[in-house]
Amino acid sequence: MFLDGLDELDQKIIRLLIQNARISYSDIGQQIGISRVAVKMRVQSLEQKGIIEEYTTIINPQKISGAISCYFEIETTPDTLMDVAELLRQNDTITQIYRVTGKSKLHVHAVASSNEEMEVLIYDTIDKLPGVLECTCNMIFSRIKDIKGLRL
C-alpha cells in the first residue's frame, strides 16, 4: 500500500481527505477518535512534509459549453525534448505534460474553449515545435473514469 510509511491515524486522515477535501477537522476527529486540534496538527505536518501537496477544485471542461479536450502524443529528437516541453509548458491551453516511456516521449493534455482555439494551438504551437518526429492527437468525447491524485 502507498501509505505504509504513515501511522494508522495519518492513513485514516488521508483516506477521509481523499473522499472529501472539505471535511472539517472536527468531523475527521469524530470519525477516527481524536481531537480537532490533533487532526489539525497532523494535517499540517503532512502538508509540511509534502505528503499533502494541495487542495483544489477540479473543473470538468466537458460540462462547459464548447470546451474541447485533447491528448497529444509527441515524439521528438532527444536534443529537443526539454525545449519542446518548456514551449508547451508556457502555453495556457496546455493543462498537463508528462514525459513517458515508449515511442512517444511527451504525453500532453490540452483544453480549449472552442474548436477554433484548439486549431490555433495545433497550427501556431504544436506544428511549429522544433525536432518533432511524430505527433498524434486524440479528442476526448466523454470522461468515463478520471481519478485525481492517489486513490487507496
Domain holding 39: CATH number?
A: 1.10.10.10
Task: Give the pLDDT of residue 74.
Answer: 96
Task: Give the pLDDT of residue 146.
Answer: 74
For residues 134 and 68, state if they share a domain: yes
Total length of the chain: 152
Task: Give the pLDDT of residue 149.
Answer: 59
| Of 126, 125, 118, residue with least CA distance to 69 | 118
Amino acid at 17: L
Angle at 88 between CA 101 and CA 123, to 5 degrees: 110
What nine digits make up the cell of 81? 525534448
Q: For 92, which DSSP code?
A: T
Residue 35: inside a domain, yes or no? yes
Number of separate domains in the chain: 2
Residue 25: inside a domain, yes or no? yes
| pLDDT-flagged residues of the chain (< 70) | 1-4, 147-152
Task: Give the pLDDT of residue 135.
Answer: 95
For residues 74 and 130, state if they share a domain: yes
**36 lies in which domain range?**
8-48
Model-level pTM?
A: 0.68
Residue 120: inside a domain, yes or no? yes
| Of 6, 13, 54, 47, residue with least CA distance to 30 | 13
Cα 98 to chain centroid, rounded:
10
Q: How far apart are CA 132 and CA 105, in angstroms?
A: 10
